[in-house]
Amino acid sequence: MSSPQPPVPVPARTTLTWDVTFPAPTAPDQPLRAAAEGVSPALLRRVAGFHRAELTDARFLWCEDGDWALCHLELSTAPQEEPVVTLRTTPLTGPPSGLTAREVDIISLVALGLSNRETSSRLGTSIRTVTTQVERLLKKLGQDSRAGLSALAVDRDLIRLPIPGGVEHRSGIRVLDIERHAATVVGLPVARRSRRHHPATGRAGRPTVRIGTIVVAGAFAADGRESARGAALAVRDINALRHDHGRSVEHLTVHIDPFDPASVEDALAELTEADVDAVTSSYASALSPAVFGFAADFGRTFLHTNTWTRSVDAVRADPRRLGHVFQTCPSETAYQSALLGYLRGHRVEDGAPPRVAIVELDGYGCAITDDTFTARVREAGWSVTSTHRVGLTVEHVDDLVKEVVHDRPDLVVVSHLSVETAAALQNAITRHRPHQLTYHIYTPSVPGFARRIEHRGGQVIWSTVTGRPDDPLGLRFSERYARAFGVPPGRSQASAAYDQVRMVHAAFSITGSLRPEAVGAYLRDSAYRGVNGTYLFASPGQAVSGYPYDSGDASLSQPIRTYRLSTAGQELLPLPA
């Protein structure tokens, strides 16, 4: 099958040229002496591998610190005392032929002759993911076999070094033999900039940072709009502040319905195709396991507000695979702590203890009850009348609520993610017991909840683990958001998404690197002050701590916010003493 012509790589800077010399060692095992003027040790080892493979000409792709280049090695034919290899690097704006970085790795391993199973092992991903990526490569490059992909990789110089996992045996492909010999190099050759050329100065590579934002749609579209707008506002602010030599942000927004597998697959494929440098997200990875799996496999910095404790546990258990995943809010355990704090502040000293009934979404980071919950409620001076676990939708709302309020509890707690379901539960509570005090977990933070509920004298209290205060930062953000979109922001996801984009861009800017390892090291070692509070990822699970329940230091954590909603509007309640 004939293949389409590849797009011509566009150099980001003028080609740089070095003459690399190989002094003859005085003993067979003597290391080559090291001197590199502008060439990294890793790249010099490939030049030495080229020399040891006794090649005269070779080309390959190279990517270091997020900067792509096409490297050309050529053995000098001029008579000299010491062998000289000319290294030319032509910086590129990204991977050639419209490929992503991961697709370049895949096609390089296909050229090495590895199976999908072997490839998945080397890349730390699933066989299914590799199979899908190979199929996508075949379609994209107009090939109908792995042999065609291999030939194309060689013909178009699409093999990138270093090869993940290395090369153990002779391959018959010159570039792969470079990698095999590079593993045996002791010491480094001498590289000096050639005076025959006048390379341009400046850092090579793509001049922008690409950030992708996963926006939840379907039943969670109201929250998705908050995330999309908050992230977009952050990008606008960053690009407005950027100086001539700073990196601007390219922003890609993808929408997923977490319960539509095709929607999830298409969105994640779009992020992969765009080769984004980082991904921000709300709680999509709690609703769809595929999103969390993507975060692990994609390998780029991934920020989320998925409060599910099991996500934090996964990062703690496997930091090598998930060290680039960060939870930008406290976990669901903080919801329980905030509720208990509220109960302690409203206990009755005399008479029978007040009673609380619980309605909670089963899973998805919304479960606040556990084996110790009843005992902890009792210690707070209250008792639990009933606990009801529900799904994302509740078919017979009135029947459920009749059971909930049957014992006339002093407080009904509703922990749910869906605005529609939470509002339906609240309205049924109001119908059956108009003055019932209710305490919601998170959902009233979403715009539209207040418009959906009926106010008949009762009050709604709610808490959120990542929330916007009414301090100068919060007020300034609210004003800019309202000017940009014509409506005020909600209390949680808009400012959370804003902070995520600003924080990861700061990490890129300060480290000067697009590598997840460098960005992750910065995020773990630094504290970032955003609209919603301070982000510090010092714990092994890489999640933010909540004040005052997870941490007693308000300057290094996010305050757990509690609000009151009534006919008079919203009111931020003071933190417990």
- pLDDT, one tens digit per residue, over 490-520 is 999 999 999 999 999 999 989 988 889 999 9
What 3-state DSSP class applies to 251? strand
The CATH fold of domain 16-193: Arc Repressor Mutant, subunit A (1.10.10)
pLDDT at 26: 41
CA distance 509 to 85: 35
CA distance 511 to 326: 17
pLDDT at 458: 66
pLDDT at 246: 63
pLDDT at 306: 92
Enumerate residue ranges in the chain where pLDDT < 70. Answer: 1-15, 22-38, 65, 77-82, 186-206, 242-246, 349-350, 455-458, 576-577
pLDDT at 23: 60
Letter for the amino acid at 531?
V
CA distance 53 to 167: 13
One-character DSSP codes across 181-207: HHTT--B--EEEE-TT--PPPS--S-S
CA distance 528 to 538: 12
Domain boundaries defined on the chain: 16-193, 208-331+470-544, 334-464+564-572
CA distance 471 to 279: 28
Question: Secondary structure of 377-425 in the HEC alphabet?
Answer: HHHCCCEEEEEEEECCCCCCHHHHHHHHHCCCCCEEEEEECCHHHHHHH
- pLDDT, one tens digit per residue, over 78-115 is 555 667 888 888 888 778 888 888 889 999 999 888 89
Parallel, antiparallel or unpaired: strands 190-193 and 208-216: unpaired
pLDDT at 38: 62
Cβ atoms of 37 and 18 within 8 Å: the answer is: yes
| Length reported for the chain | 577
CA 320 to chain CA centroid, Å, is 15
CATH of domain 334-464+564-572: 3.40.50.2300
Parallel, antiparallel or unpaired: strands 383-390 and 411-416: unpaired
pLDDT at 537: 96
CA distance 330 to 199: 49
**Tokens 């709604």 identify what position?**
460
Domains 208-331+470-544 and 334-464+564-572 share a fold: yes
254 sits in which H/E element: strand 248-256
Residue 35: strand pairing partners: 190
Q: CA angle 357-359-364, nearest 5°?
A: 145
CA 161 to chain CA centroid, Å, is 25
Maximal C-alpha separation, the chain? 102
CA distance 526 to 516: 15
* pTM of the predicted protein model: 0.65
Phi and psi for 213 in degrees, rounded to 5? Answer: -120, 125
pLDDT at 450: 85
- pLDDT, one tens digit per residue, over 301-344 is 999 999 888 899 999 999 988 999 999 999 888 889 899 999 99
Report, at the CATH architecture level, how domain 208-331+470-544 is classified. 3-Layer(aba) Sandwich (3.40)
Q: CA angle 258-260-261, nearest 5°?
A: 95
pLDDT at 206: 63
One-character DSSP codes across 457-512: S--EEEEESS---SSHHHHHHHHHHHHHHSS---SSHHHHHHHHHHHHHHHHHHHT
Residue 552's CB: how many other CB atoms inside 10 A?
10
CA distance 368 to 333: 7
